[in-house]
Structure 1
Amino acid sequence: MDKTLCELFAGVGGFRLGLEKASKDWKTVWANQWEPKKKQQHAFDCYCEHFGKKEIYINEDIASIDKSKIPDHNLLVGGFPCQDYSVARTGAKGINGVKGVLWWEIRNILEIKKPKFVLLENVDRLLKSPAKQRGRDFGVMLACFNELGYNVEWRVINAAEYGFAQRRRRIFIFAYTRETKFASMQSSANAQCIINTAGFFARTFKINPINNIQNTNLIYKDLADVSENFKYEFGNSGYMNNGQIYTSNVTPVSIKPIPLSQILEKNADNKYNINESNLEKWNYLKGSKKIERTSKAGHKYIFSEGPIAFPDPIDKPARTMLTSESSLNRSTHVIKDPTTSKLRLLTPVEAERLQGFDENWTNTGMPEKFRYFCMGNALVVGVVEKMGQTLNKIFSIEESDYVIENEERKAI
């Protein structure tokens, strides 16, 4: 089966880069990147700078695109924003008033193009949103997949626990149609086996064996019924087969992470040194605090937060990098430069190294602030590369003419 790829919400190409590092056989047949309310589309320009500006790379709102005109593909990938996925009824029309707009665009592509495999990335709070109906949003997504004939695995992965330089926790969602050979192969394994050893994520990111699995089902009238009534405490790993959900909290077989010291540039420009006049502000932002606030309803409460190490230790992997990196705020990394002993920000190259991109990947004419923004939005390329290696084996199964026997299945 051809390794044809469609990349949604492509950013600066992290999914594609990771897959291509795993195999040069991947062929991107269509990609979309559009930053709303931005006159300059710096991420899209960066993507085209590295992969060539082609008519199949689209810089438009995905909602405005005719999904039937997207080329056929066997793998759909994308990292999409975490939103509200609730649905509402309206007479005989069934579902209306959808909110998590970008998810519904993905769903529409799945319905029309029916790619055999799907790999998505999101923030891990997706499993617990919204606060008033924990698990509803992810339940709606699973119901969509189930309705369209997909089985699904998910895993929250902390990149640092598998040898990378950043403590970045993200949920990855892997789905495949029930007509694939991979689905047939997986049908001979129970849920515990899928989560422990036989599943996509278990093959890629080893875990300590678990035997406590919770389960529920998605037997509801329709998606609106799921939205109104579904509530569930999802674990950080799980599997859905024909509407049956199995989930557990797993712990990784950890690989020693890369410390921040190993990604630092030597002789960083002095412009990254923090202004000493702001030192008091930095200390305040990084310190613990308790602040009285008033809610919209008018009642007073105490907002509290614990301290963040200041400066960041460089003998450990970095904290999660956000889109606000380099600005004067609590989440920005500040290190003590090992050469000058001065406090400074991370450089754009160091931000790229944290995410596993090639050096100066975003040095394509965009403002420096936006280079940090792009990296804060990106994923860890090496994590995708590892998944790409497993996908290579799965795609080899789809190309084969023979039935997978048990011993062959174990060797995958």
Structure 2
Amino acid sequence: MPKLTVCELFAGVGGFRLGLERSKDFKVIWSNQWEPSTKTQHASMVYENRFGNKNHSNLNIEEIATSSIPNHDVLVGGFPCQDYSVATSLKNSKGLVGKKGVLWWSIYRILKEKESKPSYLILENVDRLLKSPVKQRGRDFAIMLKGLSDLGYACEWRVINAAEYGYSQRRRRFFLVGIHHKSNLYKQLLKSNAEEWVLSNGVLASAFPVTSTNQKNQISLSESMLQLSKTFNSDGKISPFLNSGLLLNGNVISYKTLVNYNGPFQNLKSVLEKDKVADEFYINIEDLPKWKYLKGAKKESRTTKEGFKYKYSEGSMAFPDDISKPSRTIITGEGGKSASRFKHVIETAHGLRRLTPLELERLNGFPDNHTKLEGITNTKRAFFMGNALVVDIVEKIGQSLLSKI
């Protein structure tokens, strides 16, 4: 079989490419990485250093003509998720109309304008997407599915927590596999029972087995994208989109599924460097009280800038982190010396310390020192990993897609 050619959008430091190209049957022939909020394009620098700058674009994807992107078999991308991220509250997320959420439409535009459309899509986002925005839960995802359906794609999706399938980080992410009607795999899908495809026969179910629960929703996306934008789930109570599902010919069937995995499990300890690391990662004794306060439980009165008083409470977090379990999710603010509730802290023979960039890379399945480059700080390297995906998840999805083809 000839290699499947891949277009990698919103490439970051290359997680999709690493996962797919572990198989010799995928080849990235064009990539794009552009960060609108920074003058120096650090992620693109790392990408070019690791993969070369041939057929790599470091320009705003919104301004790139579709005609300049070569035809390809598979389009992949972890399109910007800041508007849905757990770093911001759901009520403040702007969904598809947000500053960076709008970049979804760059994917839609490319697919729409491509005369020879890619046969397959693999897209990644935070699971917040399934229930955004707060006043019309699931509306953004409904618009996306409708757009893809209009372009001739069937889509299966799943929310996958890497740790539940044996990996060393509790990282929950949404993955979507699109299958164009011109492909042979689409013909297989038409012959299959929809429920069996989602629960056992599909690309995602074959890679990451599940069992079903009694919870199932069926949704018709017969209205236009504009009408869906105005009226979808207007009562805003609960999103109809569950953690697994299938879109076929404008109809959606969605299931709440449970993980079915019996293999080995990795933990935080498995990625740790064995020797003493650089002094910058160790916590100074004088800073310990602040770390303990931020990690601890709180019930206290606070006052907003406008003078409004309110009661604030939160539970305690493990301090230090339990290295016998998978790590918590890496966030973009993982780097830097300042005390934080969300940064990882481990206990070692040399004292309490934060995780190193190499350890963060390992938690996402990247090669050691993938992001190490002159001019790239350790804080920036941690930021990259907070934005990245778990490479092994992509690898397994790619292998499953190949097996189906």
With the length of structure 2 as denominator, give the TM-score of the two structures.
0.89
Alignment gaps of 5+ in structure 1 = 88-96, 398-412
Deviation at 1:296, TM superposition (A): 9.7
Structure 1 residues 154-193: aligned runs within 5 Å: 154-193=157-196
**Aligned pair 1:118/2:121, yes or no?**
yes
Match of 2:45 in 1: 45
Alignment-mate amino acid for residue 15 of structure 2: G
Q: Which residue of 2 aligns with 1:199?
A: 202
Q: Please tell me whether residue 316 in structure 1 is matched to residue 318 in structure 2.
A: no
Q: 2:379 aligns with which of 369, 381, 384?
A: 369
* Partner deviation per Cα, 1:276-295 (whole Å, 9 max, x = no partner): 11111111111122354568
How far, CA to CA, are the matches of 1:311 and 1:11 in structure 2? Answer: 30
Whether the aligned pair in 2 keeps the contact of 1:166 and 1:318 (CA below 8 Å) is yes
Equivalences for residues 262-341 of structure 1 within 5 A: 262-267=270-275, 268-292=277-301, 301-327=310-336, 328-337=339-348, 339-340=349-350
Aligned counterparts, 1:21-60, within 5 A: 21=22, 23-54=23-54, 56-60=55-59
Alpha-carbon distance between aligned partners in 2 of 1:187 and 1:151, rounded to the nearest angstrom: 10
2:393 aligned partner, one-letter code: V
In the superposition, the TM-score normalised over structure 1's length comes to 0.88
Deviation at 1:306, TM superposition (A): 1.7
Amino acid at match of 1:389: Q
Tell me the number of residue pairs that the alignment of Structure 1 and Structure 2 aligns.
Answer: 381
Match for residue 135 of structure 1?
Answer: 138
Name the counterpart of 2:226: 224
- What amino acid sits opposite 1:302 in the alignment? K
CA separation in 1, counterparts of 2:126 and 2:215?
25
Asked if 1:245 is matched to 2:252, the reply is yes
Contact 1:11 1:43 in 2 (8 A): yes
- Is the 8 Å Cα contact of residues 80 and 100 (structure 2) preserved in structure 1? no
Paired residue secondary structure (1:19): helix
Distance in 2, Cα, partners of 1:285 & 1:139:
38
Amino acid corresponding to residue 78 of structure 1 in structure 2: G
Moved more, 255-264 or 205-214: 205-214
Alignment CA distance shift 1:212-1:191 (3 Å): farther
Greater mean alpha carbon deviation, residues 78-87 or residues 131-140: 78-87
Cα RMSD of the aligned pairs, angstroms, is 2.0
The alignment partner of 1:118 has SS state of: strand
Cα distance change on mapping 1:196 and 1:298 into 2, 3 Å: farther
**What is the DSSP-based 3-state SS (H/G/I as helix, E as strand, rest coil) of the residue aligned with 2:129?**
helix
Once the two structures are superposed, what CA deviation does each residue of 1:347-389 show, in whole Å capped at 9, x if it has no partner?
1110111111111111112111101011111111111111111
- State the one-letter code of the partner of 2:248: N
Instruction: Give the Cα–Cα distance (whole angstroms) in 2 for the partners of residues 27 and 167 of structure 1.
Output: 29
Does the 8 A contact of 2:148 with 2:154 survive in 1?
Answer: yes
Q: Secondary structure at the match of 1:326?
A: coil
Amino acid at match of 1:318: S
Whole-Å Cα distance in 1 between the matches of residues 306 and 247 of structure 2? 40
8 Å contact kept, 1:2–1:74:
no
Deviation at 1:253, TM superposition (A): 1.3
Measured in 1, the distance between the counterparts of 2:344 and 2:360 equals 10
Residue 70 of structure 2 aligns to which amino acid in structure 1? P
Task: Note closer, same or farther for the CA distance 1:299–1:277 as it changes in structure 2 (3 Å cut).
Answer: closer
Asked if the contact 1:86–1:227 (Cα under 8 Å) also holds between the matched residues in 2, the reply is: no
CA deviations over 1:174-216 (Å, ceiling 9, x no partner): 1111221111111122221111111111111011244542111
Separation (CA, whole Å) in 2 of partners of 1:43 and 1:334: 25
Aligned identity (percent) is 49
What residue identity is the alignment partner of 1:155?
R
Q: 1:248 to 1:376 in 2, by over 3 A?
A: same
Distance in 2 separating the partners of 1:357 and 1:242: 37
Name 2:89's counterpart in structure 1.
none
CA separation of 1:336/1:66 partners in 2, compared to 1, >3 Å: closer, same or farther? same
1:107-142 per-position Cα deviation (integer Å, ceiling 9, x unaligned):
001112221100010011111111111111111111
Q: Does 1:390 align with 2:400?
A: yes
Q: 1:308 and 1:98 mapped to 2: Cα distance?
A: 32
CA contact (8 A) 2:108 2:147 kept: yes
Question: Once the two structures are superposed, what CA deviation does each residue of 1:140-159 show, in whole Å capped at 9, x if it has no partner?
Answer: 11111111111111100000
* Aligned-partner residue type, residue 246 of structure 2: Y
